[in-house]
């Protein structure tokens, strides 16, 4: 299997991406230092693939505030059947919109599985491509986010998309 990685700058900081023969495998969201991203990726940079170049462009454009499509092939080889369902529903959340963990569970046909949905999203190796930042708690709070910068990054991503969270009322605008 051919696997290549890349570390690149965005207006939000340094990102890292890994792609292989089956698609994009991993994305590291922006961090302050290039070294942090390199340490998290632990994949040697090899010759660049067309997929890697396209993925970098769409990510850079996203962080410039452009509406982009993250419709690139993804390597889903390590996903469980439950994760596949969670990620499929999550990928359908439009730019600038949010859903709750409970709504995702209901759409999957497993009402009451909101914690399991949260757990699956916490293991998401492809944020932005699988926009887990668009999933919030039922009371309107942010919930968790497994990026190294945690919910601060989730809030930045939602703000970039024009989503304002009001946790006390549970409303989003």
Is a pLDDT exceeding 60 seen at residue 88? yes
Predicted local distance difference test score (pLDDT) of residue 173: 47
Is the pLDDT confidence value at 3 over 80?
A: yes
Which pTM does this prediction carry?
A: 0.91
CATH architecture of 81-172: Orthogonal Bundle (1.10)
Give the pLDDT confidence score for residue 167 in this predicted structure: 60
**What is the pLDDT at residue 1?**
57
What is the residue-wise DSSP string for 111-138? TT-HHHHHHHHHT-S-TTTS-GGGEE-T
Domain-wise residue ranges, the chain: 3-63, 81-172
More confident: 150 or 44: 150
pLDDT over 80 (residue 155): yes
Give me the phi and psi of 28, to 5 degrees please.
Answer: -105, 120
**Mean pLDDT score across all residues of the chain:** 90
The residues annotated as belonging to the active site are 132
Tell me the pLDDT tens digit for each residue of 5-50.
899 999 999 999 999 889 999 999 999 999 999 888 876 656 678 8
């Amino acid at each position: 299997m051919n696997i290549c990685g890349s570390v690149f700058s965005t207006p939000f900081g340094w990102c890292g991406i890994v792609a292989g023969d089956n698609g994009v495998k991993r994305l590291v969201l922006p961090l302050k230092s290039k070294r942090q991203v390199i340490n998290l990726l632990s994949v040697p940079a090899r010759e660049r693939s067309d997929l890697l170049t396209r993925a970098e462009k769409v990510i850079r454009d996203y962080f410039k505030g452009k509406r982009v499509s993250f419709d690139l092939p993804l390597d889903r080889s390590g996903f469980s059947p439950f994760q596949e369902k969670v990620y499929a529903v999550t990928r359908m959340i439009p730019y600038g919109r949010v859903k709750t963990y409970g709504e995702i569970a209901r759409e999957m046909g497993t009402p009451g599985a909101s914690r399991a949905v949260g757990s699956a999203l916490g293991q998401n190796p492809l944020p932005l491509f699988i926009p887990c930042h668009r999933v919030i708690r039922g009371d309107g709070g942010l919930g968790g986010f497994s990026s190294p910068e945690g919910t601060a990054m989730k809030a930045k991503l939602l703000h970039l998309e024009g989503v304002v969270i009001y946790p006390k009322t549970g409303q989003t605008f």
